[in-house]
């Protein structure tokens, strides 16, 4: 069968890499793809900001199935349009994707359905911000309501800082329309957990857990990014906690969306904080996480295509996935200056040597390829991912591979999975 993946990042490279292992796929496309994806699938131009562009591509290709990687096409309604035309597509509808595209919708949904989350306030003006701040202790979290590529969250250490950040968001100077409404939240303490499930609109099947590292600098310092690395182990979520998360968070979300007339199919990513009061929802994504997808799929031993089709066809079950007990880790190599201003077009050397390290796969996130050479083409450039029998070895392999790669201004954190290793 012919399969089309929409997207261009490290997440999409991991999806293409895993889908390519399916014996049932005869032709694999990715639009627009990147330099590394082009080595494993046929990359085709497409504007993921344009519904017409995606429809035109699918009309020409006639894929048997389309898998949507990033959030923007989902919020534009690509699943609705493809479904209307009778095309098989994996992902939630535009209405269901509001769980990600609007943080205020997600928080109010959680409140309506009694799903644990931090106390919050939704503000459309600075008057509301200043009034609401009186109800919070510091630090306080300031979130842009809309999509901001993982950069719309600021942990303000003082109310003055929170007020300043909110003002910048509301003015449109920081994030454009994404910040036209802000959400203030209690700052929760604990370990973050990325918990993903597949849903067919009624049932859910959990994937293995992972932990993201969002801050740009070692020791969780500096601004938030789209993610600087992630790891996954067999014991990051034990069986008892996994069942609790399924029964008290994932299933109630899917049931709540169905009850409200927005059936949720596809991947539900629950970003959680494991607090002393129990797990609480920080945010939702309505697609695979990036970079969590890379270490998660490194541990997947069953056919990803089978699970995707089960979601589309309404037959999701706990038996959809088979996992390795190995540990895996992804270290993101980024352009200097990311998540702020950065330069592109820097030649990347050492990829072949890095991929030769045992247990390592280098996923491309922001790269281009010209005349057999790879160049940087984004903020997050590569996701150097390793798998091994234990986390310590996986981390060693990932950093060994990172040491073999070079490009001008390259930056990566040196402490991915560091807290887990100390434990």
pLDDT at residue 177, rounded to an integer: 81
Backbone angles phi, psi at 418, to 5 degrees: -60, -40
pLDDT at residue 152, rounded to an integer: 86
Which pLDDT tens digit goes with each residue over 360-371? 999 999 999 999
- CA-nearest of 63, 66, 91 to 1 is 63
**Could you confirm whether domain 191-320 is CATH 3.40.50.620?**
no
Yes or no: say if 103 and 281 are a contact pair by the CB < 8 Å rule. Answer: no
Stretches where the chain sits below pLDDT 50 are none
pLDDT at residue 81, rounded to an integer: 98
pLDDT at residue 180, rounded to an integer: 86
What is the CATH T-level fold of the domain 2-91, as seen in this structure?
Answer: Rossmann fold (3.40.50)
pLDDT at residue 369, rounded to an integer: 97
Q: Which residues contact 127 (CB under 8 A, 6 or more apart)?
A: none
Is 32 in a helix, a strand, or coil?
A: strand
Distance of alpha carbon 281 from the chain centroid: 15
Question: Domain map of the chain by residue range?
Answer: 2-91, 119-186, 191-320, 327-422
What is the residue-wise DSSP string for 5-31? Answer: EEE-SHHHHHHHHHHTT-TT-SEEEEE
pLDDT at residue 147, rounded to an integer: 86
pLDDT at residue 284, rounded to an integer: 96
What is the residue-wise DSSP string for 164-230? Answer: HHHHHHHHTTTTGGGGSSEEEEE---SEEEEEEEEEESS-EEEPPPBEE--EEETTTEEEE-S-SEE
Pick the CATH number of 119-186 from 3.40.50.720, 1.10.10.10, 3.30.50.10, 3.30.1490.20: 3.30.1490.20
User: Strand locations in 299-352, DSSP E?
Assistant: 327-334, 347-348
What's the Cα-to-Cα distance from 129 to each of 104, 119, 138, 318, rounded to whole Å? 14, 15, 14, 44
Q: pTM of the predicted model, to two decimals?
A: 0.95
pLDDT at residue 320, rounded to an integer: 85
Yes or no: say if 329 and 233 are a contact pair by the CB < 8 Å rule. Answer: no
What is the CATH T-level fold of the domain 327-422, as seen in this structure?
Answer: 3.90.600
- CA-nearest of 160, 323, 165, 320 to 237 is 323
pLDDT at residue 308, rounded to an integer: 97
pLDDT at residue 172, rounded to an integer: 85
């Amino acid at each position: 069968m012919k399969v089309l993946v929409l997207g261009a990042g490290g997440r999409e490279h991991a999806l293409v890499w895993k889908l390519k292992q399916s014996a049932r796929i005869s032709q694999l496309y990715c639009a627009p793809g990147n330099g590394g994806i082009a080595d494993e699938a046929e990359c085709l131009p497409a504007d993921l900001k344009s519904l017409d562009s995606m429809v035109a591509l699918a009309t020409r290709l006639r894929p048997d199935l389309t898998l949507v990687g990033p959030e923007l096409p989902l919020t534009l309604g690509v699943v609705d349009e493809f479904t209307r035309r009778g095309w098989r597509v994996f992902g939630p509808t535009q209405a269901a994707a509001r769980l990600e595209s609007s943080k205020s919708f997600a928080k109010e949904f959680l409140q309506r359905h009694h799903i644990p989350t931090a106390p919050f306030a939704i503000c459309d003006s600075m008057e509301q911000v200043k009034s609401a701040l009186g109800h919070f202790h510091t630090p306080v979290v300031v979130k842009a309501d809309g999509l901001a590529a993982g950069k719309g969250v600021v942990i303000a250490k003082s109310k003055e800082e929170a007020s300043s950040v909110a003002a910048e968001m509301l003015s449109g100077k920081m994030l454009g329309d994404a910040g036209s409404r802000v959400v203030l939240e209690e700052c929760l303490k604990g370990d973050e957990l990325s918990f993903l499930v597949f849903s067919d609109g009624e049932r859910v099947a959990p994937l293995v857990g992972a932990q993201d590292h969002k801050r740009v600098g070692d020791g969780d310092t500096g601004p938030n990014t789209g993610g600087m690395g992630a790891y996954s182990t067999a014991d990051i979520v034990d069986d008892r906690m996994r069942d609790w998360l399924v029964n008290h968070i994932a299933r109630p979300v899917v049931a709540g969306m169905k009850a409200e007339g927005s059936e949720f199919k596809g991947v539900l990513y629950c970003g959680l904080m494991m607090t002393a009061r129990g797990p609480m929802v920080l945010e939702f994504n309505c697609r695979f996480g990036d970079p969590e997808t890379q270490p998660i799929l490194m541990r997947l031993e069953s056919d990803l295509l089978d699970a995707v089709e089960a979601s589309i066809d309404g037959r999701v079950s706990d038996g959809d996935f088979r996992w390795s007990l190995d540990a895996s880790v992804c270290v993101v190599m980024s352009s200097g200056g990311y998540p702020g201003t950065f330069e592109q077009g820097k030649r990347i050397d050492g990829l072949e040597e890095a991929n030769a390290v045992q247990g390592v796969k280098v996923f491309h996130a922001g790269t281009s390829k010209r005349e057999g050479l790879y160049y940087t083409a984004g903020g997050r450039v590569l996701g150097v991912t390793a798998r091994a029998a234990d986390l310590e070895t996986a981390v060693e392999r990932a950093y060994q591979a990172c040491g073999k790669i070079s490009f001008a201004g390259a930056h990566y954190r040196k402490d991915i999975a560091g807290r887990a290793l100390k434990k």
